[in-house]
Chains A and B, each alone.
Chain A
């Protein structure tokens, strides 16, 4: 799979992306669409290590390759159009290049990646990098496209004019990669320009012209195919219609196509758990292995189909060039939330699940926008809320009830989706406004590259990278939470004698489960938090459901089902509706009154009851600060709104 054509040994040396200290460091500098990342991937194969720069939400990729018996570290810097920073992301690049970034070694040599079709503009970045007085080499990409669009560029001429080595590279087709590796290996002997490029605007303009002249540069003609496609895709009417169609298809695919795959994953892990039940005779051990550990792994793996599908679609749309067109169409609407067009896709994906939605914020160039979108994304109605909504709405109104010609249940469902979406935009807007209260408003600019056919390799790489990152960084947290919750719900253990002594029929599985749960650590927690949730009308059993739903919302349905099943195993939903308070001042009264159900619904709209979301936020931002803020503000919002709604519905229905 990885390239071996360079003759250099790709397989020896430290593998798995471990970064050796002391090895020469090369950084790739370039603008966002220049093809930096495909060069980085081609250079380092699948041995890249991704993470964050210390203390910031800016992603960092570092990889190693081996040439001439030595390791070379390559770092893919965030894309930038210039070295005079206008955003925190670009500040990182500037600081790193000037060796002012604490905790990060400054690079020994720099490779500037420039796109031959935008050479004129790109020379300005080259001039800024040359003034850093580091060893510099230029990698020119997209020369093939330049030629097909009627342009030309003489590479040796460019090399002579700039006074630094120039390599022609086509990252996706791996042209020039061995040469670039050899060049980097010999970084100490790179030629340096005699004079610095000028800083004065007029002189810089003259310098640029002279370089273009010396390299016999003829600019590419506008791409005819792109012009024809854009006439349709960016048309005020057709373009908007196609955009809506693309988004509906996108949503359908990650929502419905992933569902059967996720069903398969669930069935497989269910089957594994059954196997454990059959072969492990000790019930608590079987429970621990089957429900907690296998269930925990399953809870992680179940996200993989959705994440892979979403990244397949995103990298396709991005690779083809549609993503920036969609952002162009949506920018005005998203700007109302203080965001830009590209944030739309991330928020849209969150309708399926906030986990891929938060990972999709990687496509946003500004760190502030990424944070703001992440803070809003969990409020979009994800698929895990759906079973909870269906159960609760079913208990609240009958399917026959209508508002005009519309089914009330459907209207309530729509209102919940709408409430989520509006709240998400509002949350993003607030976070963005607070962050920008004393900063410069980021200018918005977005390159519109011609339509291109992405390589299968680059798409597969994106899918692989995102799934691997999710499994490695989030897997452990989700698994741990699942195990802890299982322990809370099932411990302390009860012997058969103890059960019989308490009057439980040990042959009745439902009764045993119910007894274990009633006397579990989770029940103690449910009772302990009763004062917190009492104003919302939740009793301790609902609290168990809320506590259990911390791992994932849909467990709320299962937990309540288990509790209710104990009373009437044949008809758990009827038992649930008829459930009454067991003790306290309300003893004997129904738990699921209209105000309580309404409060629960609103609570589920706002509360961040999803440890997968929390852990993916931690992974993407590199700190616990943002997930903590998100969890905190959403809990306060959930409790507050549920309390208000409980009060309003109680007044309206006359049930205090």
Chain B
């Protein structure tokens, strides 16, 4: 995914074969996606909080950018921007088939 993280064009990476659904951390920049499940990989104890932040099943989500060192990343969900670390993003599964 490192190759695509610098891609600035909105749909530049759509052609890449992504497992579907995939973890939110694997989502390329600028590709609209939909959340299918929350609470994997150790994030279950606070999946309720992720829900309070707008990460709920069915919500549209988009990766806006990653920090210079790759972590954390800013996502747009429910019409606002929020930053998550990779550890939290791994617990959220998304699909690019809207």
Contact = CB atoms under 8 A, between A and B. Distances in A.
B16 interface: no
Contact of B84 (A219, A240, A444): A444
Interface in A433-460: 440, 443-449
Contacts of B83: 324, 328, 331, 445-448
B80 to A, nearest CB: 5
Nearest to B68: A236
Contacts of B80: 117-118, 121, 447, 449
Nearest to B5: A236
B58 A445 contact: no
B81 A84 contact: no
A56 interface: no
Contact of A121 (B43, B48, B53, B58): B53
Nearest to A31: B52
Nearest to B49: A86
A239 B68 contact: yes
Contacts of B84: 444-445
A81 B67 contact: no
B76 A445 contact: no
Contacts of A120: 54, 78-79
A421 interface: no
A225 to B, nearest CB: 14
Contacts of B54: 120-121
B34 interface: no
B49 A443 contact: yes
A636 interface: no
A493 interface: no
A331 B67 contact: yes
Interface string A210-241: 00000000011010000000100010110110
A408 B11 CA distance: 56
Interface string B59-77: 0000001011111101011
A132 to B, nearest CB: 15
Contacts of B74: 234, 328, 448
A124 interface: yes
B58 to A, nearest CB: 7
A376 interface: no
Interface in B8-62: 43, 45-46, 48-54, 56-58
B52 A332 contact: no
Contacts of B58: 205
A446 B83 CA distance: 5
Interface string A305-347: 0000000000000000000100011011101000000000000
B76 A222 contact: yes
Given A121-B52, A445-B84, A448-B74, A329 B67 contact: yes
Contacts of B67: 234, 328-329, 331-332
A125 to B, nearest CB: 7
A585 interface: no
A82 B49 contact: yes
Nearest to B70: A332
A201 interface: yes
B95 interface: no
Contacts, number: 101
Interface string A234-254: 101101100000000000000
B57 to A, nearest CB: 7
B78 A121 contact: yes
Given A86-B46, A121-B52, A121-B78, A445 B70 contact: no
A447 B80 CA distance: 8
A125 B74 CA distance: 22
A117 B72 contact: no
B85 to A, nearest CB: 5
B96 to A, nearest CB: 20
A445 B82 CA distance: 7
B7 to A, nearest CB: 13
Contacts of B48: 82, 84
Find the residue from B43, B51, B74, B80 having the highest chain A CB count within 10 A: B80
Given A121-B78, A121-B80, A446-B82, A201 B51 contact: yes
Contacts of B72: 328, 331-332, 444, 446
B46 A447 contact: no
A457 B81 CA distance: 27
B79 A117 contact: yes
Contact of B56 (A205, A234, A443, A448): A205
A219 B45 CA distance: 30
B49 A329 contact: no
Contact of A332 (B49, B56, B69): B69
A230 B72 CA distance: 15
A234 B65 contact: yes
A448 B81 contact: yes
B4 to A, nearest CB: 15
A329 B70 CA distance: 10
Contacts of A219: 79
Contacts of B71: 331-332, 335
Nearest to B52: A82
A220 B79 contact: yes
Contacts of B52: 81-82, 84, 121, 124-125
A446 B75 CA distance: 10
A202 to B, nearest CB: 8
A230 B74 CA distance: 11
Nearest to A149: B79
A201 B76 CA distance: 21
A118 B52 CA distance: 12
B49 A331 contact: no
A240 B49 contact: no
A201 B57 CA distance: 9
A61 B42 CA distance: 35
A179 to B, nearest CB: 26
B41 to A, nearest CB: 12
Given A331-B85, A448-B74, 11 more contacts: A121-B78, A121-B80, A205-B58, A220-B79, A331-B72, A332-B71, A333-B69, A335-B71, A440-B45, A443-B43, A447-B83
12 contacts: A117-B80, A118-B78, A121-B78, A219-B79, A324-B83, A331-B71, A331-B85, A335-B71, A440-B46, A443-B50, A446-B83, A448-B83
In the A-B complex, the 9 residue pairs with the smallest Cβ-Cβ separation, listed nearest first, are A82-B52, A332-B69, A236-B68, A448-B81, A219-B79, A121-B54, A120-B78, A81-B52, A121-B78
